[in-house]
């Protein structure tokens, strides 16, 4: 019913429906700011556009609509991933009006950039050609550089933006170089054709080098080790809502690229056990193992909570990369599900950090001493988010990690043990990660703070935190809410 209305409005362009709202939003934001003059007006319009886009997307998702328009696909996978990006955008926009870090910026430009970046993410999720994916990624990246730089007065932000732009540019160059090599040898940019190519052809060095370039280029986007150096600096320097946007949204786009490009390309040859597939699987297994280990180990030493969260999200990306080593539909579903739970738990943690910054509390872990006395709700929420990140039942992080690690052990009837070592490394990492999460909990609950004065954070922050909290608990005890869609989405990989 609702889906029919959307189809009748957009006609052939239904696959673009959610993106159109974002595009309109991105284009009108500066004008709204100019004529409306007030930040709050701009904020309301922005929120409206996000909600419109989100509702459209959810309707398309729940009605299983399938369509294609000029190569832009619409199916469960694209709508599911779009929903993820729109949730992130919603949370970020929601708190942007009250966060002291973002209201000082030119609101029109800020929201326009956020919309532009999200538009790129949606475009990536709907594409099936290396070229369109590349375009989408670039749209997101360039908007993100500007978003980081928007916190103009802060030296750290400028440094972060420069670093981000230079490294981003380098990764773009690498990616493009890789794509051109692959095009040169395979003669196509469509993922389907490339999947056929790797299944039926022998390994060639040219293709291999192209592939490595692409893995490195997109590896920068998800901050996989050894391409992760920029992430902590950027997350630390940017305004907290923007850090959250990068850590939850932008990084998920990178992972979506990994699924759509590498997983789609090699899943057939991996299942067939050809040497090409196996090599790629091992490359990803090693990247995954190193990424999660480095992320977790370095996080232990971080005194700044935003840096700690940055390293922890590097580690989380490592967990998700397991799916590229395992290369089964079960793993893909688990990976997508983990992206969702990660949005809520990591997003929630960043929201609390952002909210506390508004209340005048610093970013150091030592600033969190005695928080349980000053704000029992925030301390409890933070504890739940961190425990969820560490994978403690019955929270969402546990359930999604359970699915992820289960997929690494094998598939029903075939616990063949090829990737069981990866599951072990992941599990050891989970244990390591507990240590630094528990450190924050300890600071909040056990250590005595200098004052016991109550903290008040903006109400909207509380609302956003509650939203995350509800999902962290609900997805933990009732994963079917989203996991069913994740499994459906795997059918549209190719």
Partner 1 sequence: MSMILSSLILVPLIGAIIALFMGGSREAYSKYVAIGFSAITLIIATLLMLGIFGDFADLGESFVWIDTSAFIMNYALSVDGLSILMVFLTALLCLLVNVFSLDEHRENNNYFYALIMAMEVGLMGVYMAADYFLFYIMWEVTLIPMYFMISWYGGPRRHYSAIKFFIYTHVASLVMLIGIFAMGYESVAAGGVVDFSFEAIKNGIGAVAVETQSLIFALLFFGFMVKMPSVPFHTWLPDAHTEAPTEGSVLLAGVMLKMGSYGIIRICIEALPEAAAYWQWVIIAIALVSIIYGAYGCIAQTDLKKMVAFSSISHMGMVMLGIGCLSDAGITFAVFQMFAHGLITAMLFMVCGMTGHKVGTREIPLLGGLAGKMPIYATFMMIAFMASLGLPGLVGFWGEFPVIMAFYEFILDNDVIWMLLFCMLSLMLTAGYYLWAMQRTLFGPETKKIDLSKAHDVGHYEFAVLLVLAILVALFGVWPDGALQFIDDYVDLLAFTGVI
Query: Do residues 376 and 398 touch, judged by C-beta distance below 8 A?
Result: no
Q: Which of 193, 303, 376, 454 binds partner 1 (CB under 8 A)?
A: 376
Q: Is 173 in the site for partner 1 (CB under 8 A)?
A: no
Given the structure tokens 């090829």, which residue do they identify? 418
Nearest CA to 394 among 480, 478, 484?
478
Q: Is 177 in the site for partner 1 (CB under 8 A)?
A: no
Q: Which of 90, 177, 183, 445 binds partner 1 (CB under 8 A)?
A: 445
Q: How far is CA 146 from the centre of its chain?
A: 18
Residue 116 or 391: the one with the smaller Cβ distance to partner 1 is 391
Least distance from C-beta 393 to partner 1, angstroms? Answer: 4
Q: H-helix or E-strand containing 285?
A: helix 275-300
Residues 184-203 that bind partner 1 (CB under 8 A): none
Residues 326-355 that bind partner 1 (CB under 8 A): 330, 333
Q: Specify the stretch interacting with partner 1 by CB under 8 A; choose among 54-62, 140-148, 194-202, 401-409.
A: 401-409
Least distance from C-beta 403 to partner 1, angstroms? Answer: 8
Please report how the helices 459-477 and 376-390 are oriented relative to each other, as an axis angle in degrees rounded to 10. Answer: 40
Can the peptide bond before residue 59 be classed as cis, meaning omega within 30 degrees of 0? Answer: no
Q: Which of 297, 438, 466, 474 binds partner 1 (CB under 8 A)?
A: 438
Q: Which of 5, 275, 428, 470 binds partner 1 (CB under 8 A)?
A: 428
Q: Which of 8, 35, 413, 452 binds partner 1 (CB under 8 A)?
A: 413
Q: How far is CA 473 from the centre of its chain?
A: 20
Q: Specify the stretch interacting with partner 1 by CB under 8 A; choose among 122-130, 263-271, 279-287, 387-395.
A: 387-395
CA separation for the pair 41, 32 (Å, rounded): 8
Residue 22 or 384: the one with the smaller Cβ distance to partner 1 is 384
Beta bridge partners of 364: 304
Q: Is 273 in the site for partner 1 (CB under 8 A)?
A: no
Q: Specify the stretch interacting with partner 1 by CB under 8 A; choose among 68-76, 297-305, 356-364, 414-422.
A: 414-422
Residue 177 or 424: the one with the smaller Cβ distance to partner 1 is 424
Q: Is 492 in the site for partner 1 (CB under 8 A)?
A: no
CA separation for the pair 327, 278 (Å, rounded): 10
Cβ neighbors of 437 (< 8 A, separation 6 or more) are 312, 386, 387, 389, 390
Q: Specify the stretch interacting with partner 1 by CB under 8 A; choose among 95-103, 154-162, 342-350, 397-405.
A: 397-405
Q: Specify the stretch interacting with partner 1 by CB under 8 A; choose among 135-143, 187-195, 247-255, 408-416.
A: 408-416
Q: Which of 405, 419, 436, 485 binds partner 1 (CB under 8 A)?
A: 405
Helices (H), 327-419: 329-358, 371-374, 376-390, 396-409
Least distance from C-beta 338 to partner 1, angstroms? Answer: 14
Q: Is 272 in the site for partner 1 (CB under 8 A)?
A: no
Least distance from C-beta 362 to partner 1, angstroms? Answer: 23
CA separation for the pair 470, 474 (Å, rounded): 6
Q: Is 400 in the site for partner 1 (CB under 8 A)?
A: no
Q: Is 474 in the site for partner 1 (CB under 8 A)?
A: no
Residue 198 or 482: the one with the smaller Cβ distance to partner 1 is 482
Query: What count of Cα atoms within 13 Å lies in the side-chain half-sphere of residue 266?
Result: 27
Q: Specify the stretch interacting with partner 1 by CB under 8 A; choose among 27-35, 114-122, 294-302, 433-441.
A: 433-441
**C-beta neighbour count of 363 within 10 angstroms:** 18
CA separation for the pair 294, 289 (Å, rounded): 9
Residues 84-103 that bind partner 1 (CB under 8 A): none
What tokens were used for 184? 């040169």
Residue 190 DSSP code: B
Cβ neighbors of 418 (< 8 A, separation 6 or more) are none
Q: Is 471 in the site for partner 1 (CB under 8 A)?
A: no
Q: Which of 275, 414, 463, 470 binds partner 1 (CB under 8 A)?
A: 414
SS3 274: coil
Tell me the number of residues near partner 1 by CB under 8 A: 40
Answer left, alpha or beta for residue 274, where phi above 0 means left and psi between -120 and 50 means alpha.
Answer: beta
CA separation for the pair 126, 119 (Å, rounded): 11
Residue 109 or 420: the one with the smaller Cβ distance to partner 1 is 420
CA separation for the pair 223, 215 (Å, rounded): 11
Q: Is 393 in the site for partner 1 (CB under 8 A)?
A: yes
CA separation for the pair 80, 280 (Å, rounded): 26
What tokens were used for 307? 């840096």
Sign for the pseudo-dihedral over CA of 141, 142, 147, 153: positive
What is the C-alpha radius of gyration for the chain, rounded to an integer number of angstroms? 21
Least distance from C-beta 427 to partner 1, angstroms? Answer: 4
Residue 122 or 408: the one with the smaller Cβ distance to partner 1 is 408
Q: Is 449 in the site for partner 1 (CB under 8 A)?
A: no
Q: Residues interacting with partner 1, by CB under 8 A?
A: 330, 333, 376, 387, 392-394, 398-399, 402-403, 405-406, 409-415, 417, 420, 423-424, 427-428, 430-431, 434-435, 438, 442, 445-446, 478-480, 483-484, 487
């Amino acid at each position: 019913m609702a889906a029919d209305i959307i189809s009748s409005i957009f006609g052939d362009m239904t696959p673009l429906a959610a993106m159109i709202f974002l595009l309109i939003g991105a284009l009108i934001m500066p004008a709204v700011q100019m004529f409306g003059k007030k930040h709050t007006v701009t904020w309301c319009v922005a929120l409206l556009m996000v909600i419109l886009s989100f509702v459209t997307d959810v309707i398309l998702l729940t009605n299983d609509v399938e369509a294609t328009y000029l190569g832009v696909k619409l199916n469960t996978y694209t709508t599911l991933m779009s929903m993820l990006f729109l949730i992130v955008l919603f949370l970020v926009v929601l708190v942007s009006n009250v966060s002291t870090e973002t209201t000082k910026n030119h609101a029109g430009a800020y929201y326009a950039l956020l919309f532009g970046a999200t538009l790129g993410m949606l475009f990536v999720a709907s594409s099936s050609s290396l070229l369109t994916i590349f375009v989408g990624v670039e749209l997101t990246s360039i908007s993100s550089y500007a978003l980081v730089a928007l916190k103009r007065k802060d030296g750290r932000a400028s440094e972060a933006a420069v670093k981000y732009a230079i490294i981003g540019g380098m990764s773009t160059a690498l990616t493009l170089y890789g794509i051109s090599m692959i095009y040169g040898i395979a003669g196509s940019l469509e993922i389907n054709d490339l999947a056929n190519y790797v299944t039926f052809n022998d390994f060639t060095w040219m293709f291999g080098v192209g592939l490595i370039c692409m893995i490195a280029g997109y590896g920068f986007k998800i901050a996989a080790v050894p391409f992760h150096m920029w992430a902590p600096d950027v997350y630390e320097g940017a305004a907290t809502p923007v850090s959250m946007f990068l850590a939850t949204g932008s990084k998920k786009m990178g992972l979506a690229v990994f699924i759509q490009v590498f997983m789609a390309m090699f899943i057939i040859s991996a299942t067939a056990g050809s040497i090409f597939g196996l090599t790629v699987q091992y490359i990803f297994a090693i990247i995954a193992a190193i990424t999660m280990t480095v992320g977790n180990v370095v996080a232990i030493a971080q005194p700044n909570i935003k840096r700690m969260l940055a390293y922890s999200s590097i580690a989380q990306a490592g967990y998700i990369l397991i799916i590229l080593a395992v290369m089964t539909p079960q793993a893909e579903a688990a990976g997508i599900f983990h992206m969702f739970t990660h949005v809520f738990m990591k997003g929630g943690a960043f929201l609390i950090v952002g909210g506390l910054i508004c209340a005048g509390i610093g970013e150091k872990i030592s600033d969190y001493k005695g928080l349980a006395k000053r704000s029992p709700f925030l301390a409890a929420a933070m504890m739940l988010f961190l425990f969820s990140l560490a994978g403690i039942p019955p929270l969402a992080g546990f359930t999604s990690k359970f699915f992820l690690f289960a997929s690494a052990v094998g598939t029903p009837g075939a616990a063949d043990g090829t990737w069981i070592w990866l599951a072990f490394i992941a599990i050891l990492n989970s244990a390591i990660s507990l240590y630094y999460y528990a450190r924050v909990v300890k600071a909040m609950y056990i250590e005595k703070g200098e004052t016991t004065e109550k903290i008040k954070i903006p109400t909207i922050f509380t609302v956003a935190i509650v939203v995350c909290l509800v999902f962290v608990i609900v997805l933990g005890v009732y994963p079917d809410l989203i996991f069913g869609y994740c499994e459906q989405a795997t059918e549209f990989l190719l």
